[in-house]
Chains A and B, each alone.
Chain A
């Protein structure tokens, strides 16, 4: 099983600032990496797939990068609606696995 590790667990950021979230895989997943956003009481929402392709309707301030074992989600200028928990997920191998999440909170 591929273990996905996200850091930090919590990120405190002021509105308008840049946020950088990390995701590391225990072995290479190539570019088979997705990012999701989850707000309290809601289902997750797909943000990024293929490590760097934004899903339909996702604002350009969200960007993904990386390949192999190291990945980054960047939110260029945090808006109030971006404070949430973010998960990465690998789909290179079965079972599909998620990271433990990074909570982005208001500083």
Chain B
């Protein structure tokens, strides 16, 4: 069964750092493009970052320079390192797998990140 399980969310003070993990099962993360998508409380969806199967990475303007996406093929896990966190980064963060195009055919259950003092 194809599954994505996120972890690592929590309450963090502004300016702090957090690392999210996404453990995949049923398929290899290294063979698929993978992204993080977030959703602020009561709001819509925002794409955050992509890790292409070939190794390239891209970021949305709102997180560029602060967030880093990476993967560990041996653990079949995707990561999102989040630094210099701001209140506006508060959201549920979803790990997603890309389909044959850059749409998202598999979603994790999400992990909540709350940035507050």
Contact = CB atoms under 8 A, between A and B. Distances in A.
Q: How large is the interface on A (under 10, 10 to 19, 20 to 34, 35 or more residues)?
A: 20 to 34
Interface string B5-35: 0000000000000000000000000000001
Interface residues of B, number: 22
Interface string A79-107: 00000000101010011111111000000
Nearest to B58: A94
A102 to B, nearest CB: 11
Given A87-B45, A98-B45, A45 B107 contact: yes
Contacts of B103: 34, 46, 49, 89, 91
Nearest to B35: A96
Interface residues of A, dominant DSSP: loop
A68 interface: no
Nearest to B92: A43
A98 B99 contact: no
A100 B44 CA distance: 6
Contacts of B47: 95-98
B110 A43 contact: yes
B44 A87 contact: yes
A51 to B, nearest CB: 10
B61 interface: yes
A31 to B, nearest CB: 10
Contact of B99 (A45, A49, A101): A49
